[in-house]
Structure 1
């Protein structure tokens, strides 16, 4: 049994989804582990991780609009606004999604469906650099 860990630095431009599938696949391939489990962990409370369709961009746009309606920026609605009006909505969006994903690895590749991609879901309006920890264990 072997394991490897890597910190992936992801630059986001604004609120929305940034695909990291290519970087994640490259990390897994470099480790030479044929079968195992890959864990991804987002080290933030205002960004999250998603596995989502990567073929049709309208899916991502619809998700972003849905979360905007679900947790809108509204100064009258929230007490917490330490980092601005998008701060508390970002925390709510993270609470409704995931900061950790587990993906099986088979034949040296993450097992994803045909149209699945791995995304950092940025919940703040401005650009950030997000730290995603990749941990792979297997043989």
Structure 2
């Protein structure tokens, strides 16, 4: 039996990793989609019941970029584990660049929208004078800093 396996050049022997990784990919897609729907629907309903505006805003901002980020990371892990594109390092670099771009966008949206919104709500309660200066400063300079850091990581 051992000599049969050693002398056999059957493609069925070599296709087992493809089947295994394909099955893992299929299970990961189904579980990821289920968890995505479950987590975001549960969190949205929880924040709506508790009338937490910042939580709802955060969930709405996170929903699409996290899905794109999950897909890009899954593609990168899959191509790396299967050695599909070992001769095309450009694809790995493009996937890494895509992950960095989506992460930079996500961080920018969280900082500019969620933090600025929470600071403006806090400033309305306290009626402080610093809200006229700090909030526009955060909204205008923070995206520049985030995109500069993301641009350096992108290169």
TM-score, reference length from structure 1: 0.26
Higher relative contact order (CA 8 A, sep 6+): 1
Tell me which protein shows more strand as a share of its residues: 1
User: Which has the larger Rg?
Assistant: 2
TM-score, reference length from structure 2: 0.24
